[in-house]
Amino acid sequence: MSELAIDTATAACAVALRVNGQTFCHAPAPGRMLERPAHAKELLPAIEGLCSESRTDLAELSAIAVGIGPGAFTGLRIGVSTARAIATANGLGLVPVSSLETLVAGGGTERTVIAMIDARRNEIFYRVGEGPDSLATPAETLSLARDAVARGPVLAVGDGALKIREQLLEVGADVPPSDDDRHVVSGSVMLDIAASRTTLAPEGVTPNYIRAPDAKVSSRESWLVESGAK
């Protein structure tokens, strides 16, 4: 039994490999979330590193889980594309797991956990406990946090929570310091979630983008728009 989990929704490249119950993790320091993502360079070496550490053949996996976001689009696609290729070469399916759900689960069960992933452009992907994955402005997520605090203790995690940490503390939510592991998606927690989930055909697993693509045309056609010909 060897199960692989990959998540690239944030700048932190999370990978875990569980071999006969023993879990090997590539867990970047929480500070990495605030840096530029480098999944193209980091993901495959991390996977291969865990394989050699655990003496597992990448071609002999028994299950693969992949984080489908929401998060930064290009990073998500690197993770999903990589997971699909490994699954296809193994003749396996894939288990999609919400990156926000993994963050919530990593926050424990004593408090209401709000997971937040920075969506840039002054927006935040968030999930309150077992609620749906959503997108809102920082002001909206703050008011959600305030409502949750009125009902009981609240823990906010994720790079989105770090972005508005001071305001979250002001409304009474607990936000661990930026070097706390709970801010990073955990591959090990993902594997726990994936264990009870349905496996899908690899091509059926796509990122949960939430946000529609920008209709910004690449340089090819920008001239027409500028010239007023369009």
Stretch that binds another protein, among 13-21, 88-96, 122-130, 165-173 (CB under 8 A): 88-96
Decide if 82 contacts 58 (C-beta within 8 A).
no
Total residues interacting with another protein, rule: CB under 8 A:
44
Strands (E), the chain: 2-7, 14-19, 22-26, 63-67, 95-97, 112-118, 124-128, 134-136, 154-157
Q: Does 58 bind another protein (CB under 8 A)?
A: yes
Q: Is 1 in the site for another protein (CB under 8 A)?
A: no
Q: How far apart are CA 167 and CA 23, in angstroms?
A: 36
- The vertex-116 CA angle with 107 and 109, nearest 5°, equals 20
Q: What are phi and psi of 198, to 5 degrees?
A: -80, 140
- For residue 186, the SS3 value is coil
Only segment of 106-114, 175-183, 192-200, 206-214 that touches another protein (CB under 8 A): 206-214
Residue closer to another protein by CB (options 85, 150) is 85
Closest approach of another protein to the CB of residue 106, in Å: 25
Q: Do residues 44 and 33 lie in contact, with contact meaning Cβ atoms separated by under 8 Å?
A: no
199 binds another protein (CB under 8 A): no
Partners of residue 18 on adjacent β-strands: 3, 23
Stretch that binds another protein, among 16-24, 81-89, 147-155, 174-182 (CB under 8 A): 81-89
Provide the token pair at 139: 């002001």
Report residue 68: phi and psi, to 5°: -105, 20
> Is 208 a binder of another protein (CB under 8 A)?
no
Interaction of residue 89 with another protein, rule CB under 8 A: yes
Candidate ranges 74-82, 103-111, 127-135, 180-188; the one touching another protein (CB under 8 A): 74-82
What is the x/- site pattern for another protein, positions 13-52, by CB under 8 A?
Answer: -------------------------x-xxxxxx-xx----
Contact residues: another protein, CB under 8 A: 38, 40-45, 47-48, 58-59, 73-74, 77-78, 80-86, 88-90, 202-203, 206-207, 209, 213-218, 220-224, 227, 229-230
